[in-house]
Amino acid sequence: MKEQPLIPITQSQLLDTPSLWFVLTNKCNLRCRYCYEDTGDASLTEETAVRFLDCVIAERKSIELSSEILEIIFFGGEPTINKPTLIAILEFIRRNQIVCVPRLVTNGLISDDILYRLIDEDVYFQISYDGPASSQRVTVSGEDSSPMVFETIKKIVSRDAHLLVRFTFHSGNLGNMLSAIDFAENHGIRNLAFNAIAIEGQALKNHLQPPGSDEFVDHFMKAYEKAQKKGIRISNVALSFPERIKYTNRHHCLILLPDGQLTTSIKYTSSSSEQAKNTIIGNYDVKQGIQLDFDKMRQINTTFQANRLRTCAGCEIYSKCMGFERFTANAFNEDITLSEQLRCERMRLLIRAMQNKRLP
């Protein structure tokens, strides 16, 4: 039997995704000093978003895939800024009884009217928050956003809605990792995620340093063991890849950008830069439907296969990761940056530490 390519090369392979993303807008109401994105101002229209989802569901049915999608993710910029499109998609999901987990990836600076509407729509919230004070997560006017985001967290917890709080670490705030567990326990938060900054975008401009990998993993393990005793789940992007691969046996996302371009990598949330253009595999248009560049998809698959053989040789966790931890670099022929190397190093150390402790 012919082996399935790991990166989709046909429309049906692409549509068979566990993870459908809508980048609702590139606008943001924060100016985080470690943000990896370039803030633009493009936004996805209601019509494009809803008709795209309708088209994906119809195409999936036509090739006898279930209309059930593991997760539909709302991303930005700050996705709640584009409230009309966000609500239009949620209403479409409900009206058409699409089985999925709708996830909102937000900075937590959300007005009450949209917040309570999203809670009523049973949205899963992922909020970025680095503790009670942060000099990195600042508003457009330079104010610390933490107190305002904390209010949002309290409102979500008080309504018993699904919530994951994501902390981002750099060399200067690793000490907050253990106290994040106390914070979660004191405020009724059951799910945390701990990740490290990427040395790209704003972090590079602001000369922020990543945490040392050994130090990161040391803090992570202590926090993990403390969290386990308190019934708090703590995860990390590095650990989610093996979980996802095991669970779905599919790895890719399908992402609609604000201008209708399609991609499988969330590294770029706008198609405007030259590097982002390498990642675009097609576009969606309400008149023409989904149009894919099959030559580009085949090229991306070939590049991925060749680069991961070249750059992952000898990696001790290859059978778990299969080259996906540096998916963007492996698939789009980018140089392996220091950030990519550190991601792999942290993942190897984390998995080794988990295995040594016989943790799942």
- Closer CB to ligand SF4, 103 or 267, in the complex: 267
Cβ 178 vs Cβ 310: under 8 Å: no
| Angstrom distances, CA of residue 53 to CA of 49, 50, 69 | 6, 5, 11
Long-range CB pairs of 290-295, under 8 A, 24+ apart, other chains included: 290/11, 290/52, 290/55, 290/56, 290/59, 290/262, 292/11, 292/14, 292/262, 294/9, 294/10
Closest contact distance (angstroms) between CB of 351 and ligand SF4 is 9
Closest contact distance (angstroms) between CB of 262 and ligand SF4 is 24
Per CB under 6 A, residues contacting ligand SF4 are 312, 315, 317-318, 321, 323, 325-326, 344, 347-348
Other CB atoms within a 10 A radius of the CB of residue 337 amount to: 15
Closest contact distance (angstroms) between CB of 329 and ligand SF4 is 8
Closest contact distance (angstroms) between CB of 259 and ligand SF4 is 30
- Closer CB to ligand SF4, 16 or 340, in the complex: 340
Q: Which amino acid is at 137?
A: R
- Closer CB to ligand SF4, 314 or 360, in the complex: 314
Residue 332 in tokens: 């789009």
- Closer CB to ligand SF4, 33 or 251, in the complex: 251
Cβ 47 vs Cβ 99: under 8 Å: no
Q: Which residue stretches of the chain are H helix?
A: 11-15, 46-62, 83-95, 112-120, 146-158, 176-187, 201-205, 213-229, 237-248, 274-277, 294-311, 318-321, 327-331, 338-356
- Closer CB to ligand SF4, 294 or 318, in the complex: 318
Closest contact distance (angstroms) between CB of 21 and ligand SF4 is 21
Closest contact distance (angstroms) between CB of 305 and ligand SF4 is 13
Compute the half-sphere exposure of residue 27: CA atoms within 13 Å on the CB side of its CA. 11
- Closer CB to ligand SF4, 152 or 236, in the complex: 236
